[in-house]
Amino acid sequence: MSIRIGDVAPNFQAKTSIGDIDFYEFLGDNWGVIFSHPADNTPVCTTELGRTAQLKSEFEKRNVKVIALSVDSVESHQSWINDINETQNTTVEFPIIADQDKTVANLYDMIHPNASETQTVRSLFIISPDKKVKLMIVYPASVGRNFNEVLRVIDSLQLTAEYSVATPADWKDGDDVIVMNSIKTEDIPAKFPKGHKVIKPYLRTTPQPNK
């Protein structure tokens, strides 16, 4: 199954490190991040899960629930979590899916056979409260993810879901944003009273509206 941006994220039931879950029930009305790992007890994955745990408060203030996946067992996950907590000086509290039969990995197209027929690549999906896939990032197994970038794109997605704006290259929370072309220039002041700049007729910027 191939997942594309805008698709409804598939629901599933799974065993995890915190017990059995239904994915939709786990998410509730929150945003979600589901991300996969090639295997337990691997070095890059250990740093990634540790970093995610360290960022718990950042995800919470954005109303984001995080869930990880690996094709190993719950027992393996529990042992690995102890190692993560020890080596990364943190406490992993989010669930890790035990996807031994690769059901979830296949639902989300996380196995790329030309990379590995048995392990997932580093896939990451951001899911909105209406259960739509809003963003996908895929890394090879050897490259650890940048979780500051994950937070940045969540900020952008949440902002652009609420306002008629887009975010430019290298945007970060607090920077000016781009007014969508669907809004006429003469209508910008009423919609964005903080002011705006017309750089080109198709490129108009305004201060971030929710700051």
What are the pLDDT digits (tens) for 103-119? 998 899 887 655 555 55
Instruction: Judge contact between 29 and 159, C-beta under 8 A.
Output: no
> What number is the average pLDDT over the span 77-104?
96
Are 122 and 54 in the same domain?
yes
Are 118 and 179 in the same domain?
no
Among 110, 144, 178, residue at a domain's last position: 144
Q: Domain for residue 4, yes or no?
A: no
Are 85 and 126 in the same domain?
yes
- pLDDT exceeding 90 applies to what percent of the chain? 84
Q: Domain for residue 61, yes or no?
A: yes
pLDDT of res. 69: 95
CA distance 108 to 114: 16
pLDDT of 162 higher than 70: yes
pLDDT of res. 116: 55
pLDDT of res. 202: 96
CA distance 68 to 204: 39
Whichever domain contains 177, its CATH number is 3.30.1020.10
Q: Domain for residue 81, yes or no?
A: yes
CA distance 133 to 177: 23
Are 52 and 129 in the same domain?
yes
> What number is the average pLDDT over the span 31-41?
92
Q: Domain for residue 133, yes or no?
A: yes
Known catalytic residues are 45
pLDDT of res. 20: 98
pLDDT of 141 higher than 60: yes
pLDDT of 91 higher than 90: yes
Domain count across the chain: 2
> What range defines the domain where residue 21 resides?
13-144
Helix pair angle (43-54, 147-162), 10° resolution: 50
Q: What is the mean pLDDT of the chain?
A: 93
Are 20 and 67 in the same domain?
yes
Most confident of 25-34, 35-44, 110-119, 131-140: 25-34
Are 134 and 186 in the same domain?
no
pLDDT of 142 higher than 80: yes
Q: Domain for residue 57, yes or no?
A: yes
pLDDT of 168 higher than 60: yes
pLDDT of res. 189: 97
> What number is the average pLDDT over the span 157-175?
97
Q: Domain for residue 158, yes or no?
A: no
pLDDT of 98 higher than 70: yes
Cα distance from N-terminal residue to C-terminal residue, the chain: 40
Q: Which two tokens stand for residue 184?
A: 């006429």
Q: Domain for residue 2, yes or no?
A: no
Whichever domain contains 86, its CATH number is 3.40.30.10
Q: Tell me how many degrees the CA angle 25-144-113 measures, rounded to the nearest 5.
A: 75
Q: Domain for residue 196, yes or no?
A: yes
Work out the pLDDT band at 2, boundaries 50, 70, 90: confident
Tell me the HSE value of 152 on the side-chain side, using a 13 A CA sphere.
13
